[in-house]
Amino acid sequence: MSTPAVAAGYPQVGSDHKNGDRMFGIFGDYARVLEARGTPKASSLHKHTVTPLILHIRVGDELRVEWDGKNWWASSPRGTVGRLTWAASHREPSEDGSRSAYDFDDGVMHVQTITVSRGGAVVDCGGYVVPDGHTPAPPNRAPKPASASATTTNRSRKTAGFRSFLDKLRHM
């Protein structure tokens, strides 16, 4: 099966879903770095709240996330995209009394994955949310520099974009 145009060259992540949907985007080291820095992961949006604006979402987009007193909602500059699947109970302190990573009102979701239907339309997205005012902790180790002699491929351009994004996070 070919990669849909909306995936913009990003690789498929995981297996095909039973209904034929496929997920594309960035996973692996990138996800582990953001998670280690205290940014909560948003795997998807609640299916019944997704608006037609999801069709315009791509890997690398930034969505505004806002708490309305009951739920977190993701919005693009065009309007509401959908509700995050997080439960309100995520905001509560952990058993050891430490503050939950989900105890925030507003932030920015960095879209890492999009789910594409069999027909080629974006139907869901996921990523990491950086709460407003949160400075992600520095990474445990710096990413390895790319070899200067490496040939430029679509994948190496994606990797370069990923490294640039990580550099931005480091300087937040």
pLDDT digits (tens, 9 = 90+) for 119-159: 999 999 999 888 888 776 555 544 444 444 444 445 444 55
Classify residue 28 as exposed, middle or buried by CB count within 10 Å of its CB (0-12, 13-18, 19+).
exposed
- Domain of 114, in residue numbers: 7-135+148-170
Q: Is residue 1 included in any domain, yes or no?
A: no
Q: Identify which of 10, 172, 23, 39 has the alpha carbon closest to the alpha carbon of residue 102.
A: 39
Q: Which residues pair with 115 in a beta bridge?
A: 23, 124
| Residue 143 forms part of a structural domain | no
- pLDDT digits 0-9 by tens, 20-31: 999 999 876 666
Confirm whether 140 is domain-assigned. Answer: no
Residue 83 lies in a domain: yes
pTM above 0.85, yes or no: no
Is 65 a domain residue? yes
Asked if residue 141 belongs to a domain, the reply is no
Residue 67 within any structural domain of the chain: yes
Name the domain count of the chain.
1
| pLDDT greater at residue 165 or residue 118 | 118
